[in-house]
Amino acid sequence: MATTAEPTTAVTQPKMVNLTIEGRPVSVPEGTSILEAGKRAGVLIPHYCYHPALSIAGNCRMCLVDVEKAPKLAPACATAAAEGQVVHIYTEKALEARKGVLEMLLINHPLDCPICDKSGECELQDFTYQEGPAESRLRDPKRFNPVEDFGGDVLYTTSRCILCTRCVRFMDEMAQDTVLNVTERGDRALIGKFEGKDLTHEWAGNVIDLCPVGALLSKDSLNKARSWELDHAPSICTGCSQGCNISIDTRDNMVIRFRPRPNEHVNKYFMCDTGRLDYRWINRQDRVEVPLVRRGESLAAADWDVAIPATAALLDGHRVFVAASANLSNETLYLLSQLIRANGGTGAFTVLTGPEAPLPGVPDLSLRADRAANGDGATLLGFRRTASLLDGLTAGDVLIVADADAANITPAQLALAAAVIVIGTTLPENLRTAAIVLPIANHAEEDGTFTNLRGRVQRFYQAKAAPGMARPSWWVVGDVLAALGKGNAYYLASEVFAAMASDVSAFAGMTYDALGMRGLVVSGGAK
């Protein structure tokens, strides 16, 4: 038995090797590089050309470390960790070598940090400050190359490039669309485009994040903010049902940019350009900022204390038809489903679709056809996916438009409903006849979770403050349920999630703590 079982365990549990890095003992699977082992031990070995998602180039020589009993310094990215190895990163020999590398890299680097967008999050800055030479010995003028537009969202500032070739390898291996190369030789070398090609691949924007210096910059966020002024909030992209992990970077309550956040189960280190550049809607200024309650001909501003009981009075005893957005969180959709369960009725949502755009180098990573984040969560929670939003609305229903795209709603459909309640971030022109408008926070302004197309439930955090009196959507719906006497009011998104986990079997056993930063797959498994 034991002999037959052995090969399977060998595959699932690779052989571990034990080594010491900077005095810290660490155990890693066989074949791991010293650099990755160092990360696990909690020491970052300086590096430029190495990136965990890309093949090893070993061309920057920045990760040279001192391995005991080895005759020469070893590049940590290309040397496998071995049993009993003792690695020193900060010996005089290793520091001297890396200082030499940095001096060479800085020979032609323009040092225009004051006008460089990467300043503050630049690895060349960081490692030079850490262990680089204080002064340059170069007395000749620096080489200068003009800035080049690489197409797409990418601008190439040639002079700043340190030729790590991360971008070249990304386009070759991940995008599998060979656009970039190293042109010229020696000190004239630079990153070039092949004749007639542009960085227009759907995932090409990732070269901006991969670039360790300020050579490849986003044209979209060029000169908009310094990196140290930005606040970062972990979030989930709403662009499609893939659920890429992102960081929302804000300054003064305005979203400046999206960047991908690593999650090995979903998007590795990447996000597509469609998602990356689709953030302006978060900053829109035409938001509903106060609850509005109909007084005769017009909608009048009201306090929440007035609007919530008024909503409950409209809903009491009526069937409801909930037209939901597929970008609402699981929490809000769950509470809306509770409302449907209490009053009777149905819930529906529509999802915009577009062409798929996969990233060939990563399995199961693609800009999905469904261009909404939580269509799968809505389906799990009993909402019906339709092509036409208000299909099935019967006369006498109370229509709740929960942040859904109202562009196709006609006055005739609205006339069918007993009353129209809008729970939304904005008030579209064709919903001005609504009885009540409850302002809610948008995706970047509240906490919550999305379920992606593989059933992975992932958290997103609040990145900015909601305008005016707008409240998180789960708060609003919870208050309405409480006013109806059909549920509790909630004070935290985690409480709503806990209630959902105990009620809906797919989410059984999940909590915000258990989800962590990587998420969990709903029970029933990945589709």
Partner 1 sequence: MAITVKRVSRHVEQTSYVKATLQGMASTLKQMFEPKVTIQYPEQRWELSPRWRGTHRMLTKEDGKARCVACGLCPSVCPSNCIKLVPGEDENGNRYPLVFEIDEFRCIFCGYCQEVCPEDAIHVGQHYENSEYSREGHVYDLERLMAQTHPVSTLWDATDPRGE
Residue ranges of alpha helices (H) inside 217-326 are 273-277, 304-315
Is 254 among the residues that bind partner 1 (CB under 8 A)?
A: no
Angstrom distance (rounded) from CA 181 to CA 150: 12
- DSSP alpha helix (H) spans, 278-374: 304-315, 330-343
Nearer residue to partner 1 within complex by CB, 172 or 249: 249
Rounded to whole angstroms, the Cα distance separating 236 from 7 reads: 39
Does position 225 bind partner 1 by CB under 8 A? yes
Candidate list 114, 196, 363, 411; residue touching partner 1; CB under 8 A: 114
Helix 330-343 with 493-503: angle, nearest 10 deg: 60
Of 334-373, binders to partner 1 (CB under 8 A) are none
Nearer to partner 1, 6 or 112 (CB): 112
- 8 A C-beta contact, residue 391 and residue 314: no
Closest CB to partner 1 among residues 113, 482: 113
Q: Which two tokens stand for residue 68?
A: 């005991």
Q: How far is the CB of 223 from partner 1 (least distance, A)?
A: 5
Nearest CB to partner 1, comparing residues 228 and 387: 228
H helix or E strand, kind and range, residue 418: none
Contact with partner 1 (CB under 8 A): which of 9, 223, 388, 408?
223
User: For residue 480, which amino acid is it?
Assistant: V
Contact region with partner 1 (CB under 8 A), list: 52-60, 196-204, 222-230, 416-424: 222-230
Residue 146 near partner 1 by CB under 8 A: no
> What's CA 374's distance to the chain center, in Å?
14
> Rounded distance, CA 455 to CA 71, Å?
51
Helix (H, G, I), strand (E, B) or coil at 102: helix
Contact with partner 1 (CB under 8 A): which of 86, 95, 113, 233? 113
Residue with tokens 């093949």: 55
224 is a contact residue toward partner 1 (CB under 8 A): yes
| Among 20, 59, 91, 119, interactor with partner 1 by CB under 8 A | 119
Does residue 301 bind partner 1 (CB under 8 A)?
A: no
Candidate segments 113-121, 271-279, 320-328, 363-371, binder of partner 1 by CB under 8 A: 113-121
What does the angle CA 296 – CA 302 – CA 305 come to, to the nearest 5 degrees?
125
Q: Which tokens go with 147?
A: 């800035």
Distance of CA 437 to the CA centre of its chain: 30
**DSSP at 282:** G
Judged by CB under 8 A, which stretch of 24-32, 134-142, 216-224, 379-387 contacts partner 1? 216-224
Regarding 229 and contact with partner 1 (CB under 8 A), the answer is yes
For partner 1, the binding residue among 226, 265, 385, 486 (CB under 8 A) is 226
Rounded-to-integer distance, Cα 260 and Cα 399, Å: 37
391 binds partner 1 (CB under 8 A): no
> Counting contacts by CB under 8 A, is residue 110 touching partner 1?
no
How many residues interact with partner 1 (rule CB under 8 A)? 11
Does position 115 interact with partner 1 (CB under 8 A)? The reply is: yes
Nearest to 81 by CA among 14, 10, 130: 14
Name the residue nearer to partner 1 (CB basis): 30 or 229. 229
- Site for partner 1, rule CB under 8 A: 113-115, 119, 222-226, 228-229
